[in-house]
Chain A
Amino acid sequence: MKFDTPAGTSPIDQLKVIGRPTDRIDGKYKTTGTAPYAYERHDAVPNQAYGFVLGSAIAKGRIDAMHLSDARSAPGVLAIVTTLDTPRLGRGRMNAAYLFGGPVIQHYHQAIAVVVAETFEQARAAAHLIRVDYRQEPGKYDLEAEAPHAEPVASDSGEGSGAPHEARIGNFEEAFAAAPVKLDESYTTSDESHAMMEPHATIAAWNGDKLTLWTSNQMIAWGKGSIAKILGIPAENVRLDAPYVGGGFGGKLFIRADAVLAALGAKAAGRPVKLALTRPLIANNTTHRPATIQRIRIGANPDGTITAIAHESTSGNLADGKPETAVDQTRLLYAGANRLTALRLAHLDLPEGNAMRAPGEAPGLLALEIAMDEMAEKLGIDPVQFRIINDTQVDPEKPERRFSHRDLVGCLRHGAERFGWDRRQQQPGHVRDGRWLVGYGMAVGFRNNLLTKSAARVRLDGRGMVTVETDMTDIGTGSYTILAQTAAEMMGVPLEMVNVRLGDSAFPASAGSGGQWGANNSTAGVYAACVKLREAVAAKLGFNSAEAVFADNEVRSGNRSVPLAAAASGGELVAEDMIEYGDLAKKQQQSTFAGHFAEVGVDAATAEIRVRRMLAVCAAGRILNPKSARSQVIGAMTMGVGAALMEKLAVDTKRGFFVNHDLAGYEVPVHADIPHQDVVFLDEVDPMSSPMKAKGVAELGICGVGAAVANAVYNATGIRVRDYPLTLDKLIERLPEAV
């Protein structure tokens, strides 16, 4: 199905199942331990051996030799595959660093061997017996030191909208110089780890030249193509299966060392091999969100109208890596005739920087939305009002291009009222509640809505059961449930008559899970397949498909009504289709919007920062399942608190690695850090997005949150911190005397 004209009315608009707050249909399996994750697929294939991945102990250089005799003779060892006896393998989609093969070390904990043994403990113990002769080379590990040498680089971050190395509209420099009110500040954001609960894990089994991977991956079709390319085998010989994924946040968008080394280990051992990356390897072997240094300049008239806005971002990466596109949102978010955005990339020999939840916008808004707060203060205008003044209904770089639907102002007005924004003391540092200095902050959330083709198959059996099959993944997001809701709505059956099967590369290729594109596109794919199935049913039952109504397990038209199951009485009906998109997204800009509000307390003595309450008001098209959408947003808000207050991969700039490479050292928020969270979805639809009229929401939830917290810290203390995370050491010397 080609979607190239705005959506009209469809069975989806009945909203009998779609749009209802619905429990996750996989929830009972998750909570009873009966939803097996990749490492737990004990019954997928017999005779599984265990693999353990050894990471490089140096950050840059070469391996001269690896001494294996002790490891080979260790108890239980079945096979060892080293990087020295493997030619450098190709790279898969979005890989910058090479995953395996050859003597060259590009980064710390790059995989250099896999040991396969009868038990996990034997594999791990043997891996420790491998002695490696390294030849270390000096590397570049300090972004601040390398930033002056950074080069202008464009990016089309595979999971976002991307930006050219420089975009200019009007004459920024002239307008900025002439602006009566100006801001010119720099901000930094940290390297961050996805820190998902389920580690990267794979079970690999060969059957002749055919490879099956039971794995944990967000993008099954990408993964299938990538593993084939990396291993140099035909894609049709590869099957991936990932029905349950315990979080990814972008860290599992692509094939990583677990899949490659499970496959190589299984080949060498002649047995299925299962392995998981250890926590340290997740920080240093896989990918992370790169740190940024951002400069923002804003010029405005005294009435608050922005006349000039510039956002420049520098990040670092390995050769062939991309810059973090932290300027994305600044091209679209606020009006202003004179504009400049620029991306620069420094070479760093740290592990690979790549997509993490809302790449670009998440770190970009951390900076931009502090800058907006600072500018509002300079202008003496309320921060909410300042944003409303500079709202735009058109793409500021191409004013002929409208937003498909943009109700940022609605988010802000509704949010301000619901949060009690009018109680905010404009003068910072003036509200005290016992030991706490209390402040309010707000920020805008913005993330683009991305359209990508997505296919599905639907089956109707003789009992009237509808089965959906697509390689879409559920990474904890609720995909199972919204796909079931879509099929139930289209076929006129209750939710329990729908069976959803996901994550298998044998199923039609979906949009996958990333870039907050999963929900809208994958449900639209199921919609397309259901349209076909309805036609097949109508034909089978002798209905005119345009007139047939599918409801209550029946198909009706006029006075005639037939059980839906009757259509499949002579055998299962199967329909498959794909949603594909025309140029609607080119003609109009599709984005999602939020107003984030936060109240924080800052301990007047210790400068510890604790969030007291949060609110997100989101405008993101039709909300397919308010319950799972809310879960996505509160999870994202939590991650936003992490970025604001604690998450930082600490770089050892001498040795070139992320030092705090476990969940004790890399702190993410715990329950005690997260207070009352309130989420509101504005009631809206966007007919330009898809037949579902929905848009992404899961990444919108993180975008801007950290800045709302940072602005609240400023409001509480009068101390402006521009370096994330806002830890107490950045405040303590500037707080008034304790007691």
Chain B
Amino acid sequence: MKAFTYERVSSPAQAVAAVARNPGAKFIAGGTNLLDLMKLQIETPTHLVDINSLKLDGIEATPEGGLRIGALMRNTDLAADERIRRDYGVLSRALLAGASGQLRNRATTAGNLLQRTRCPYFYDTAHPCNKREPGSGCSALDGVSRQLGVVGVSEACIATNPSDMAVAMRALDATIETVDADGKTRAIPIAEFHRLPGDTPHVETVLDPGELITAVTLPPPVGGKQVYRKVRDRASYAFALVSVAAIVQPDGTGRVALGGVAHKPWRIEGADAELSRGAKAAAAALLADAKPTRDNAFKLPLVERTIATVLTEARA
């Protein structure tokens, strides 16, 4: 961990100003991922702006009939919220499939969206990683890659986004609200929020430097059976090999998003259209351009089979 300075702020305006004033500054909220990465010197902020007192931890109805979730709402609280459990079950289930109770008590909504990959080579600073050190190369391509991405990958990076929450939000078409140093706000559809690695895998989202997430909004409830299925080697406290978030309507139409397969929560609108034809068709559309490694080729049949079991569950 490199030495850093620290300040606490009490409003979003102060927060973005503080980061703008300090090149090398970062926001810190729950810190469940950032602090680990700082200890390993993978993240080396020179200044931390603590946003925990920003009062962005509530949840409120939107005029459109959806919900606006404060950026600092803890994963535990979000998963337990009655409205989330009733109308957005896939989100509650995804949250509870992630991490551990202790981590969920600490981790925030915005922080969860920004958590970084768990690629082992990203974590070991002795080896090249384009995400950690742009241009240094990708060790995972010819290394151990069982956990890593199969779709949307590039020659520069095959890392995956480890979030469960984001997969459900992708299925729900959430929108991310931000504010920047100039006070300008914008709303970013989650589909556009995370980027594919391309040749700049170190740039993971479309956020500008110093831009602060203030909330995530969910559109009005879409109903349907909402399922989140996380497949992993052990029963709890493990990142997904593959996960499926699905919302299935009584007529068999619906939406499906995948976790554990790509640099971002993976949803192809064209695959939604195939859902009523079954898992094989939906999986084929989702994985059309898959480029698995020898280690992780099993994820392709696993995706199809998991979608199949999710559809069965949803239609039961």
Least CB distance, A25 to chain B, in whole angstroms: 30
Interface set, chain B 63-89, CB cutoff 8 A to A = none
- Asked if A738 contacts B233 (CB within 8 A), the reply is no
**Residue numbers in B under 8 Å from A672 (CB-CB):** 234-237
- Asked if B305 contacts A738 (CB within 8 A), the reply is yes
Least CB distance, B33 to chain A, in whole angstroms: 11
Interface set, chain B 272-300, CB cutoff 8 A to A = 279, 298
In the complex, whether A270 has a CB less than 8 A from a CB of chain B is no
Least CB distance, B309 to chain A, in whole angstroms: 4
**Residue numbers in A under 8 Å from B236 (CB-CB):** 670-673
* Known contacts A606-B309, A667-B238: A128-B41 contact under CB 8 Å: yes
**Residue numbers in A under 8 Å from B304 (CB-CB):** 738
B141-149, B183-191, B198-206 - interface stretch: B141-149
- How far apart are the CA atoms of A646 and B234 in the complex, in Å? 7
- How far apart are the CA atoms of A412 and B263 in the complex, in Å? 51
- Asked if A645 contacts B233 (CB within 8 A), the reply is yes
- Asked if A670 contacts B237 (CB within 8 A), the reply is yes
A95-103, A159-167, A242-250, A728-736 - interface stretch: A728-736
In the complex, whether B232 has a CB less than 8 A from a CB of chain A is yes
Determine which of A125, A603, A673, A739 lies in contact with B234 in the assembled complex, contact meaning CB atoms within 8 Å.
A673
Interface set, chain B 40-82, CB cutoff 8 A to A = 41
**Residue numbers in A under 8 Å from B238 (CB-CB):** 667
- Asked if B124 contacts A608 (CB within 8 A), the reply is no
**Residue numbers in B under 8 Å from A124 (CB-CB):** 1, 39
In the complex, whether A196 has a CB less than 8 A from a CB of chain B is no
Least CB distance, A277 to chain B, in whole angstroms: 14
- How far apart are the CA atoms of A610 and B232 in the complex, in Å? 11
The residue in chain B whose Cβ has the minimal distance to the Cβ of A642 is B234
Least CB distance, A159 to chain B, in whole angstroms: 28
- How far apart are the CA atoms of A671 and B100 in the complex, in Å? 12
The residue in chain A whose Cβ has the minimal distance to the Cβ of B120 is A659
Encoded as 1 (CB less than 8 Å from any A CB) or 0, chain B from 159 to 185 comes to 000000000000000000000000000
In the complex, whether A605 has a CB less than 8 A from a CB of chain B is yes
* Known contacts A729-B298, A738-B309: A667-B233 contact under CB 8 Å: yes
Encoded as 1 (CB less than 8 Å from any B CB) or 0, chain A from 324 to 346 comes to 00000000000000000000000
The residue in chain B whose Cβ has the minimal distance to the Cβ of A735 is B305
- How far apart are the CA atoms of A739 and B311 in the complex, in Å? 10
In the complex, whether B308 has a CB less than 8 A from a CB of chain A is yes
- How far apart are the CA atoms of A677 and B304 in the complex, in Å? 34
The residue in chain B whose Cβ has the minimal distance to the Cβ of A56 is B126
- How far apart are the CA atoms of A673 and B233 in the complex, in Å? 10
- Asked if A655 contacts B2 (CB within 8 A), the reply is no
Encoded as 1 (CB less than 8 Å from any A CB) or 0, chain B from 118 to 137 comes to 10110110110000000000
In the complex, whether A158 has a CB less than 8 A from a CB of chain B is no
The residue in chain A whose Cβ has the minimal distance to the Cβ of B2 is A125
- Asked if A652 contacts B144 (CB within 8 A), the reply is yes
- How far apart are the CA atoms of A128 and B2 in the complex, in Å? 9
- How far apart are the CA atoms of A355 and B236 in the complex, in Å? 29
- Asked if A121 contacts B146 (CB within 8 A), the reply is no
- Asked if A665 contacts B120 (CB within 8 A), the reply is yes
- Asked if B41 contacts A732 (CB within 8 A), the reply is no
- How far apart are the CA atoms of A280 and B124 in the complex, in Å? 9
Encoded as 1 (CB less than 8 Å from any B CB) or 0, chain A from 44 to 76 comes to 000000000000011000000000000000010
The residue in chain B whose Cβ has the minimal distance to the Cβ of A667 is B234
- Asked if A732 contacts B305 (CB within 8 A), the reply is yes
- Asked if A606 contacts B298 (CB within 8 A), the reply is no
- Asked if A435 contacts B233 (CB within 8 A), the reply is no
In the complex, whether B301 has a CB less than 8 A from a CB of chain A is yes
Interface set, chain B 225-239, CB cutoff 8 A to A = 231-239
Determine which of A655, A664, A727, A735 lies in contact with B233 in the assembled complex, contact meaning CB atoms within 8 Å.
A727
Interface set, chain A 350-366, CB cutoff 8 A to B = none
* Known contacts A655-B127, A739-B312: A606-B306 contact under CB 8 Å: yes
In the complex, whether A669 has a CB less than 8 A from a CB of chain B is yes
- Asked if B146 contacts A729 (CB within 8 A), the reply is yes
- Asked if B298 contacts A728 (CB within 8 A), the reply is yes
In the complex, whether B241 has a CB less than 8 A from a CB of chain A is yes
Interface residues on A, range: 35 or more
Least CB distance, B243 to chain A, in whole angstroms: 11
**Residue numbers in B under 8 Å from A605 (CB-CB):** 305-306, 308-309
Determine which of A657, A662, A671, A739 lies in contact with B123 in the assembled complex, contact meaning CB atoms within 8 Å.
A662
- Asked if B302 contacts A728 (CB within 8 A), the reply is yes
Determine which of B41, B124, B241 lies in contact with A728 in the assembled complex, contact meaning CB atoms within 8 Å.
B241
Determine which of B3, B41, B146, B279 lies in contact with A738 in the assembled complex, contact meaning CB atoms within 8 Å.
B279
Most buried by B among A75, A645, A662: A662
**Residue numbers in A under 8 Å from B298 (CB-CB):** 728-729, 732-733
Most buried by A among B121, B123, B239, B312: B123
In the complex, whether A660 has a CB less than 8 A from a CB of chain B is yes
Determine which of B124, B143, B233, B309 lies in contact with A661 in the assembled complex, contact meaning CB atoms within 8 Å.
B124
Determine which of A725, A727, A739 lies in contact with B309 in the assembled complex, contact meaning CB atoms within 8 Å.
A739
- Asked if A659 contacts B143 (CB within 8 A), the reply is yes
Most buried by B among A121, A645, A669, A738: A738
- Asked if A659 contacts B309 (CB within 8 A), the reply is no
- Asked if A610 contacts B235 (CB within 8 A), the reply is yes
In the complex, whether B112 has a CB less than 8 A from a CB of chain A is no
Least CB distance, B87 to chain A, in whole angstroms: 26
**Residue numbers in B under 8 Å from A670 (CB-CB):** 234-237
- Asked if A655 contacts B143 (CB within 8 A), the reply is yes
Determine which of A125, A661, A733, A735 lies in contact with B1 in the assembled complex, contact meaning CB atoms within 8 Å.
A125
- How far apart are the CA atoms of A541 and B39 in the complex, in Å? 64
- Asked if A659 contacts B144 (CB within 8 A), the reply is yes
- Asked if A659 contacts B124 (CB within 8 A), the reply is yes
- Asked if B1 contacts A606 (CB within 8 A), the reply is no
Most buried by A among B124, B232, B304, B306: B124
In the complex, whether A540 has a CB less than 8 A from a CB of chain B is no
Interface set, chain A 618-664, CB cutoff 8 A to B = 645-646, 650-652, 654-655, 657, 659-662, 664
Least CB distance, B306 to chain A, in whole angstroms: 6
**Residue numbers in A under 8 Å from B139 (CB-CB):** 652, 655
- How far apart are the CA atoms of A605 and B279 in the complex, in Å? 12
Least CB distance, A431 to chain B, in whole angstroms: 18
Least CB distance, A219 to chain B, in whole angstroms: 31
Least CB distance, A377 to chain B, in whole angstroms: 27
- How far apart are the CA atoms of A456 and B117 in the complex, in Å? 53
Interface set, chain A 579-616, CB cutoff 8 A to B = 603-608, 610
Least CB distance, B93 to chain A, in whole angstroms: 15
- Asked if A606 contacts B234 (CB within 8 A), the reply is no
**Residue numbers in A under 8 Å from B235 (CB-CB):** 610, 670, 672-673
- How far apart are the CA atoms of A610 and B235 in the complex, in Å? 8
Query: Interface on A for B, CB 8 Å cutoff?
Result: 57-58, 75, 121, 124-125, 128, 280, 435, 603-608, 610, 645-646, 650-652, 654-655, 657, 659-662, 664-665, 667, 669-673, 725, 727-729, 732-733, 735, 738-739
**6 examples of A-B residue contacts, CB within 8 angstroms:** A435-B309, A655-B127, A661-B120, A732-B301, A735-B305, A738-B308
16 extra A-B contacts, CB within 8 A, seeds A606-B306, A732-B298, A738-B304: A125-B1, A280-B124, A435-B309, A605-B305, A605-B308, A608-B231, A650-B146, A655-B143, A659-B124, A664-B118, A667-B234, A671-B236, A728-B241, A728-B302, A739-B308, A739-B311
Query: Interface on B for A, CB 8 Å cutoff?
Result: 1-3, 39, 41, 118, 120-121, 123-124, 126-127, 139, 142-144, 146, 231-239, 241, 279, 298, 301-302, 304-306, 308-309, 311-312
The 6 A-B pairs with the shortest beta carbon distances in the complex, nearest first, are A605-B309, A57-B126, A729-B298, A672-B235, A672-B236, A738-B305
